[in-house]
Amino acid sequence: MYHTHFNTIHSTQIYLRDNLVELKTHDDDILITTSEQTLGIGRKGSQWDSYTNSLAMSFTLKPNPVPTLTPIEIGVLATLFLKSEYDISIKLKWPNDLLTSYGFKCGGIIAQYIDTETVIAGLGLNLGSHSASDVPAHYKHGLGNVSDTIILTSYDQKLIPAKLYQYILANRISDTADLQNRFYNACIHIEKIVDVDDDGENYTGKFKGIGKNGEALVEIDNETRSFLASSLKIIN
């Protein structure tokens, strides 16, 4: 593993993407971390807001055998790592959000497919308390953090992502049925009513789980429909 940590950087994703060829001369497994990120990238090119006591990391990964399952796999492994290593419980919201046990967004995952051997993945997590006075309007489920007592040092912001990355590399989930089951157990909105925005069209139904490609399975008027490249809001 080749790991570079910055005190401040515009974006771990942009840095890793723009320097991928050179970085791969050191190792195929690359991790970029930072204590402060000024231009973090979220899903569909949106900005990922950076807060104090948070983790920000980008890394290379071989795609899951089903490439569209890669961000789902990362999310599942992140929940397993935090529970086993620190007894921290977080939940998943389809397709790529990390939520506190109370349902507030505390992190997210993105994955850029580069080629058959490489995905550039990014993970941000508000692990400790933050000082934001207002919750941004674009947070569908409010802004959360995992703990009000955790205070991260720069060393923590380097060490914890390294341990998480090593855990991901060592515990890949290649079996689709196993991954579907693990997502089911980690998801916060199984059997709950959700609103799905699918390219400007809105659908409301009961979330049933994910399909073999990571698509959301939603029961609408007694019929199960699938959504792959959509966004989702939990109604109740």
Asked if residue 137 has pLDDT above 60, the reply is no
- Give residue 138's pLDDT band: very low, low, confident or very high (50, 70, 90): low
- Give residue 229's pLDDT band: very low, low, confident or very high (50, 70, 90): confident
Q: What is the mean pLDDT of the chain?
A: 90
Using one digit for the tens of pLDDT, what is the confidence trace for 164-203?
A: 999 999 999 999 999 999 999 999 999 999 999 998 899 9
- Give residue 51's pLDDT band: very low, low, confident or very high (50, 70, 90): low
Asked if residue 134 has pLDDT above 60, the reply is no
The C-alpha torsion from 88 through 119 and 141 to 136, rounded to 10°, is 110
**DSSP, res 151:** -
Homologous superfamily in CATH for domain 2-185: Bira Bifunctional Protein; Domain 2 (3.30.930.10)
Domain ranges of the chain: 2-185, 189-234
- Is residue 91 within a helix (H) or strand (E), and if so which, with residue range? strand 91-93
The residue among 139 and 155 whose pLDDT is bigger is 155
Q: What is the pTM of this model?
A: 0.90
What lies within 8 Å, CB to CB, of 149 at 6+ separation is 128, 129
CA distance 57 to 174: 23
Write down the CATH number for the domain with range 189-234.
Answer: 2.30.30.100
Taken as a whole, the chain contains a residue count of: 236
pLDDT of residue 133: 47
